[in-house]
Each structure stands twice: as C-alpha cells, then as structure tokens.
Structure 1
C-alpha cells in the first residue's frame, strides 16, 4: 500500500507539473510547444470545431499576451489611424466580434470582424470547412453565417466603452443570402457600425453567396459604390470611417481595369482595398484529399495570386488607394512581398489556423529584419517599392 500511495502521489505531481508547464507554454506563446503538442491535438478535431475552440481561447484570454514589443519600424499610419504594427487578422476568424480584445493582446495591430449581415442567418450546411494539410490551405463555404448587426454591434460597443482598449477594429459587411436589396443591406451596415468601426469593408467577393461576385462587374459596382459612398458621407459627426472594398483574386485583367476606372469616379472612390478574398481556382499542384470540395481556397496556394492582384491594383490606381494585403502570409518574407507589391497593411488567417498565436510574433520579427536589411526605416517606406516574387 505505501508503494501504491507513493506511485499515486508521483503521478499526481507529474500530471500537475505537466499541466502547469502546458499552461505556461501556451500563455508565453511558446512556438515549439504549439507546433508539437497543441496544434496536432486540436487538428484531430474537425476544422470548424477547432476554429471555435481557438476563438473561445482568444475570447477568454487563454492564449496569453504577447511579450514582444513592436519596433518603431513596424509602426505605421493609414487613414489617420495609428497601427502599432501592420499585421491584422482577416475577416472570417472572428465573425461575430467575440474575441477582439484577446486577439489584440497576442500582438495583432488590428482585428477585422465579420462578415456581418443585417439579419441573423445560419450560413451553409455543415461540413463547410476542410483542411488541405499537404498544401497548408483551407477550403471554406461558410456562406456568411452571422448573428446579425444588432448582436455584433452590442459586442463592439462594449469593447469601445472600455477605457483601456486602444485597438483598431474593422467591420466587414455582407448581405443576407435571400435579400432582394443588396445595396440596402450594405447601407444598413454602414449606418449601424459607423460609430464603432475604425474602418468598414464591403465584401462583394466571397464565392459562397450566390451572385455576390457579380457586384464586381463595372456597371453594378458603379451603382453599388455610388450609394455606399454617399451613405458613409451622410453619417453624423465630423469623423467618417474609411470605406474599403474587398476583391476576389480570380478577376480577369479586363475586370481589374474596369474596377480601377470605376474607382476614379469621385462618387465611387473608396478609401482602401482589401486584396484578396479566397479563390475558386484549383491549381494542378494541389495534393490534398479535400481539393475537390466547393468553396473558397485560402492559405499557401493563394499567396502568389493575391500578391499579383495587389501589384496590379496598386499600379492601376497609381498608389492612391491604400491596400490591405491578405492571402497566404506564413512568414515575414510573405508579408514583405505584399508590402513591396503595394500593401500598406497585411492580414493573416490560414497560417494562424495552422501555426497558432506564436506565428504573429514570428512574422513581425522577420518583417522587421527584411525592412532593416533593405534599408527601410519603416513599413510606409517599403510600400510599392517593387515586388520581388521569384
């Protein structure tokens, strides 16, 4: 019996020690611990469940707080907004605005929530998220699952009411699937979130809502932006949130030129572009089993197409419209390529899913090294200085 009791005590101490070590490793952002233990365990679950667990952990501050101090080289200013660093998380991760504070605490420079639709809707049937692990990619067909304007607005209003919150929040707006007035849906979003959002994004490029991408066509885009720019300008108060447009990576060269021409009209001129959304293209090089699933593809295979689109739109708009670059950012090098192609800010999503919160710090450190290596004092100096994709 004494030996059995001793064994029990030893096991209790060891398990307790392992629990403490695990908690500290997660809290302190240990990249090796996340890569070897946390993520393999989480990835045994289906992708949407894993996503929800990660979101809950961020919501309740269970993933710790970054100890990394952003260097001056990463500080930047866009739309009169100050960013401690240019790296944000893309819309789609925190769709309902639940984890804004927790995501800022892990070192992100800004958080974009949504897409948010005027009325609640469940989105597409499950399963609707698929890992392509061999390709470091994800296919999703969520279909704007949203708790609606009112719920998300109340959450963001509470965050804004806290004196200690200094973060930057973007709100990505969508339309209800069965809406017969898409323009009206976006106008509602502008009016609803105008006082809590640092910037607003018009999402007309998701491939998972039927007919949505047709609003990128020249005539429809002109009609849409005329109404939305006017709605934003009519918001009360002297401070109007910047209005951004999110584009698909699958646009033809002619469509890119058409969009640029529409944006030259003062009635249609947005304050920024988000480039890009997910792609419906499937390259022959993809190796994973789920490659045949319908939906938008994000991650590593999107890196080059999104960077090419950034480069094109930066040139077509003569660098006059700030760009948020998103798509396949796994390293500081990936981020730097997008900045040199024309992005003033950058966002990640899929790399966060595959590598966890420590990836945020790694990207920032590597980006700082690339900037200094090429003699740039800050991010702004490198924007549009020439992409060097090889």
Structure 2
C-alpha cells in the first residue's frame, strides 16, 4: 500500500474530517501508522467506516485510471504541485481532487457574494471578474448561483484564469444549470474539491470549502451579501488566514447589501472603483482611462444615461428620453453591439 493510496483512503472517510486527520497525524506520526493501527482513538462509527473503506482499497488503481480519462487528478499535500498558498493556512486540506489546471503563479482574488443577488450585484460581479482577468489576476470563487458564477463568467469572457472550489466532488456539476461554465473551467480553468468523487452538495460542505476559496487568494472581494451568508464565512476565513477583505457598498434598504455594509463598518476595505482592488494587491493598471467612461455620440449617450444596472422596459426608456420606439431600438442595438448594454428579456435593457 503506497502512501498516496493511504491518503486516498482517508479522502473517502466522510465521518473523519480534516481535524480528525490532523489530530491522528499528530498522535501517530504518519499516514502509514494510522492505516496499520487496529484500534484508533476515534468513535466507533469512525472506526467502522475506516475498516469498511480498507476493504474497498483494491478499487483505487482502477478508479484513478478512470479519473485520468476524465482529466481528473488526486493531489496530496506532500506533492510539490500542491498549491503553496494552501499549505500556509490554518486547517489546510491534506488532499485535493483537480479537474483542469491549478491557479498559475501571480495575484489571485476571491470574488464572492449572494446567490440571490440583484441585477446590480450580478453586473458588478461580472465587471470585476472581467476587469481583474484583464489585469492578469486569477479569479477564485465557488461557481454558485448569483455573484460567484457571474464573476467567473466575466473572467472567462476576458480570457483569464478562474478556478471554482466546489462543495461536491469535482465530477458533480452543482448547480446543474452551470454546466456550460463547468465545462469551460474543465478546459480553460480549474475545478477543485477536497471531497471525494461523487460527493453530493451537503450543507456542511460549503462553509468548509470556503476556507480553500480564501486560502487560494491574496484577498477576498465581497460584492453583495446578506446578514447571514456564506460570503461572510469566506470573509471570516480570510481574516483568520491574515488576508484582506474588501467590500462593495450597497443601498441601505437592500437586504442583499446588509452584509457588505456591515463588513465595511467593521473595518473591511471599501471598493468604489476597480483600481481599489489593484491597489490592495500592490498592482497598477494600464487601463485607468476606462473609468472616464465610454465616448458615445449624443443620441447614444442620452439613452445610456437613461439606463442603469437594473433592467428598464423599452416603453419607460421611450418616455424618459422622448424618442420614438423605432429610433430607440436602433440606438439600443448599437449600444448592444458595443457590448455596454444587454437585453435581459421582455423588452428590458440594462447596463453591462
């Protein structure tokens, strides 16, 4: 039995957890000693699961060959390729399943936020994901609904690297509606998990996976968050790991902004423009002139000024600008082709 096979045996013990493994390694000295022990200082349930998994170890070589065909690898903390950032955090994982590639050397930012975000939050997440990728910054997130996936889609649209840390096995696309993003990350980014193949999205998986999201990053940017949310758990992990936390302020009456506003009140860095994130990373941008706005002809600028990140119906745009519907549709089409607005269904339009 090789040491890597023993690590794989441990990865499948759902009743153990990272801290149980850490305690046993401290008490017994090595993975081999843990595997060879007839009786371990753990609960009866944990002991029974360990013995049952030992009987299944013959499947390891067959299973690992199948993973390779899917582009999946099993990495242990003892391998040189294991992410150096994760070695340094409290409660560091001992093993990871990887589909795609690991984050490249260089700056990385975790962009996280509410699953049930506003249109404004979704637009900001996509914008920051794209902006960071354009600056050569890796975007780390969880591929969740709302802010997470929007940030990662923005990074992909800019051709940058983004990595999703899952609360499932890397072979499980969760949520299922993000299949296209999942497939893109499998080829052009990375998908990571400490949970075994086939692991389902159990509620207690996600708070723990958040320490890996922050651990892979230099800082955490929270776009939108409610009072109690996984994003704030990620922020707590970041602070424990000695990382900076930044937040985008939101409207006082907006429930999805309560968490961000509270973080800022507690001392998180406030983000009012993308350069704030680069400054926190100690980087400079070559695209600062972009914040001066897009140069538009007068008719397009009038329509652009009428729009916001919240969807607005075509009839309302006509009423506010005084333009006829055919003229407005032509202007909206030109703005769409420039990539600065988007139709979001039902004759509604918003800024990108």
Give the TM-score normalised by structure 2. Answer: 0.26
Give the TM-score normalised by structure 1. Answer: 0.24
Point out which structure has higher relative CO (alpha carbons under 8 A, 6+ apart): 1
